Amino acid sequence: MPIVNISRIQHRRGLKTDLPQLAAGELGWVVDEQRLYIGNGTVADGAPAVGNTEIVTAGSSSFTTALSYVYKGYLGDSTVVGTGASGDVTRTLQQRLDDYVSVKAFDAKGDNSTDDTAAIQRALDELYSDTDQDDTRARRILFFPAGIYKTSSALTIPPYAHLVGEGPDKSIISNTGNNLIAVTEDDDGNGFGSIGAASATTPTQIQLSNLTFKTNSASGGMSFDCVSKVYVNQCKFIGDYSKDSVTTDTSTSKGISARAQSGLKSSHLVFNQCQITGFARLVDFSYNIDNVTFNNCDFSNAYYGALLGETQDGSTAGLDVGPRDIKFSNSTWENISQQAIYVKLSSSTTGPGTRNIISYGNWYSSTVGNNFEGVGSIREVPIIQFDNDECSSVMDFFERSDLRRSDGSSELNAAPELQGIGIQTKAIKSQTLADNTSSATTINEYPALAGKGLKITYKIVRGTLDRTGELVVSASTNGVNYDDTFTESGADVGVELTAVLDNKDSTAGSETVALKFTTSSTGTDATIDYQTTIIA
């Protein structure tokens, strides 16, 4: 017989306030909230507890509060992990997700089309600057999923901000306005000039990692104003400066800069494994700032590399002391028209000025200091220039030669690797000194520029004999004097070191200092290990 009618099965339904204890397996539909429940049954039947269990639907008050999370460990259920003193700690999925905050939770799109300025700023303010600013629980990591976050005005970064992306060229904050990409502010939203007003917390403990900050104008990258304890890791800063279209300095195009107010300097900034490229000035510090480290960074495509102290004047508030204790280490420098590091004193500078600038273990390409005119340009400038004292270059490698060519070309003597006031310590070299060399033979060459001195610390080993000494050279284009002071372990090693002026071509006179040697005939070659210190 065909079925022509099916009786309707009716479960309980009604208002949430009227929901009773449901029988085992019985369904109850809450009409006013559009939520569905099922009865647990009795404990005797095996239920963990008497009650009703909500079945998650689109009408549930929160999907995440209906689910629980228990940490299982790296092996999951196969290994028992005790998360609480007595039993497991159970958290809702909502609580678990809120451990980290995505900028997309504040409506940022990252689609390179939507203006995300307001959304990102809202996230920064809510996490670090609003009414709960003094509660450390509010200071969550702000995560930027991979994407291009278009902005049109400078973001203001408050104290304790911790911004994390998925890596350079993945999570990109791209500024399209004629302004900085970002500046720092205090926790009351006060910017430069008013930071710290009314006892507001000044910018501190700021961390940026795995992000790209990009600008499409000549207005610069990021300004760290009145900050302390800033840590920037694996970030990329990109400007619009191009040697193909712009070959002069643009003072507003600064990749990394910092400012100070009266009584509020900037201090303790660490940049690690960062890339800074495409600005007229990759780093520009003139205000009172100290204890800054750039380690394992890449500097490229600029007019100046690091320009330090240009507008420090000794009197203006925030500019009276200038930059101090700035260190560049284990970094690379390429495609920079002028100096890679330039400690510059303005005509209005008074007082001690910028000092204690250190370059250590850096690699300077031959494309630095040649006015974008190619390797070997006759218009080369110093790679490092220290116009003030207490500055040093230690164990740096310079790909560009300081010496005049002897191949008949018309290239003029390049400017030195280091010029100004400072000490340059080169890496240790080792060379064999052939036995029975009666004609003075060159070991190394150095540019002979007025005001420079050389100190060559060395050790010579020849068979069972050795000598430890120091050859001090005073040289200029007019002459050379030297003094070799040494101590030998026993008999004379039979090596004589000399320093002479060498004329590399016929057009400009003697412009090169040559370190030379002769050896006696003993049947054994000698080996010299030496390190050169150039006093600029």
Question: Tens digit of pLDDT for each residue in 383-403?
Answer: 999 998 889 999 999 987 666
For the ranges 52-66, 146-160, 260-274, the lowest mean pLDDT is seen at: 52-66
Last residue of a domain, one of 378, 399, 420: 399
Q: Angle at CA 256, nearest 5°, toward 252 and 258?
A: 85
Q: 196-212 burial string, b = 16+ CB within 10 Å, else e? A: beeebbbbbebbbbbbb
Measured in whole angstroms, the distance separating CA 373 from the mean position of its chain's CA atoms is: 28
Examine the pLDDT at 519 and tell me if it is beyond 70.
Answer: yes
Q: Which two tokens stand for residue 491?
A: 């008999």
Q: Are 155 and 181 in contact (CB under 8 A)?
A: yes
Number of structural domains (the chain) is 3
Identify the CA nearest to 531 among candidates 476, 459, 462: 459
What digits encode the pLDDT tens for the residues 354-371?
889 999 999 999 899 888
Asked whether residue 176 is domain-assigned, the answer is: yes
Q: What is the CATH number of the domain that holds 451?
A: 2.60.40.1680
Burial of 74 (0-12, 13-18, 19+ CB in 10 A): exposed
Examine the pLDDT at 22 and tell me if it is beyond 80.
Answer: yes
Query: In what helix (H) or strand (E) does residue 88 lie, and over which residues does it extend?
Result: none
Mean pLDDT of all residues belonging to the chain: 88
Mean pLDDT of 313-339: 95
- CA 259 to CA 261: how far, in whole Å? 7
Measured in whole angstroms, the distance separating CA 519 from the mean position of its chain's CA atoms is: 49
E-state strands within 52-100: 52-55, 68-69, 91-92
Mean pLDDT of 446-456: 77
Mean pLDDT of 100-111: 95
Adjacent-strand bridge partners of 156: 183
Contacts of 85 (CB under 8 A, 6+ apart): none
Domain span holding position 71: 12-96
Amino acid 485: pLDDT: 97
Asked whether residue 119 is domain-assigned, the answer is: no
Q: Which two tokens stand for residue 487?
A: 């101590």
389 and 445 in one domain?
Answer: no
165 and 76 in one domain?
Answer: no
Last residue of a domain, one of 70, 96, 122: 96
Q: Which two tokens stand for residue 129?
A: 């600057």
Write phi, then psi, for 65 (nearest 5 degrees).
-75, -15
481 and 350 in one domain?
Answer: no
Amino acid 374: pLDDT: 67
451 and 361 in one domain?
Answer: no
Asked whether residue 478 is domain-assigned, the answer is: yes
For residues 366 and 348, the model is more confident at: 366
Q: Are 167 and 234 in contact (CB under 8 A)?
A: yes
DSSP string for 304-326: EEEEESSS--SSSTTTSS-EEEE
Q: Are 352 and 391 in contact (CB under 8 A)?
A: no
Q: What is the CATH number of the domain that holds 347?
A: 2.160.20.10
- Reduce the secondary structure of 338-353 to three states and give it as a string: CCCEEECCCCCCCCCC
Amino acid 512: pLDDT: 78
159 and 39 in one domain?
Answer: no
Query: What share of the chain in percent tops pLDDT 70?
Result: 86
Amino acid 378: pLDDT: 58
Asked whether residue 498 is domain-assigned, the answer is: yes
Asked whether residue 420 is domain-assigned, the answer is: no
435 and 391 in one domain?
Answer: no
In the DSSP assignment, the letter for residue 412 is P
Task: Express the helix, strand and coil content of the chain in percent, nearest 5 each.
Answer: 5, 40, 50
478 and 346 in one domain?
Answer: no
Length of the chain: 536
Last residue of a domain, one of 81, 96, 111: 96
What digits encode the pLDDT tens for the residues 466-497?
999 999 998 766 678 899 999 999 899 999 99
370 and 443 in one domain?
Answer: no
Q: Which two tokens stand for residue 427?
A: 């890496």
Identify the CA nearest to 295 among candidates 323, 328, 325, 324: 328
Amino acid 377: pLDDT: 60
444 and 389 in one domain?
Answer: no
Q: Angle at CA 334, nearest 5°, toward 328 and 337?
A: 100
Examine the pLDDT at 410 and tell me if it is beyond 50.
Answer: no
31 and 177 in one domain?
Answer: no
Amino acid 155: pLDDT: 98
Q: Residue holding tokens 């060229």?
A: 169
Secondary structure class of 14 (helix, strand, coil): strand
Q: Residue holding tokens 């850096």?
A: 362
Mean pLDDT of 251-280: 97
Asked whether residue 49 is domain-assigned, the answer is: yes
pTM above 0.85, yes or no: no
List Cα–Cα distances, 144 to 138, 212, 237, in angstroms.
Answer: 17, 11, 16
Examine the pLDDT at 408 and tell me if it is beyond 50.
Answer: no
What digits encode the pLDDT tens for the residues 302-315?
999 999 999 998 89
- Alpha carbon distance, N-terminus to C-terminus of the chain: 111
Counting Cα atoms < 13 Å in the Cβ hemisphere of 293 gives 13
Mean pLDDT of 226-244: 95
Confidence label for 405 from pLDDT (cuts 50, 70 and 90): low
